[in-house]
Amino acid sequence: MVSINGGTMPRWRADGKELFSISPDSKLMAVSVSVNGNNFEAGSPNPLFDVRVSPPITGGTSYAPTRDGRRFLMNALAEESAPSPAVVVENWTAALKR
């Protein structure tokens, strides 16, 4: 077990030295890991930043770390805002003749 309170959508860094996951309180977490012989050792989980990822559609994950684990591509939820009003332009073809 590498997390304290659990996590979802685990992803490995390309070199296998770090494991990322989303914590229950919506933080991207990183845990350094190493294998020495038959021993698996995990460091303490470190929060990287808050995330608002959308649930994966196919049971996969909603983010991907770069090979070095320094940047992430995320399918993030958009900030909720009031919808923009609809604008109706009448007689717009008359403006084309100018």
What's the pLDDT tens digit per position in 22-71? 998 989 999 999 988 899 899 999 999 998 877 766 666 788 899 999 99
Mapping DSSP to helix (H, G, I), strand (E, B) and coil, where does residue 47 land?
strand
What's the pLDDT tens digit per position in 76-98? 777 777 788 888 988 888 888 76
Mapping DSSP to helix (H, G, I), strand (E, B) and coil, where does residue 53 land?
strand
How do the domains of the chain map onto residue ranges? 8-74
Beta strands in 1-98 (DSSP E): 8-12, 18-22, 27-36, 39-42, 46-50, 63-65, 72-74
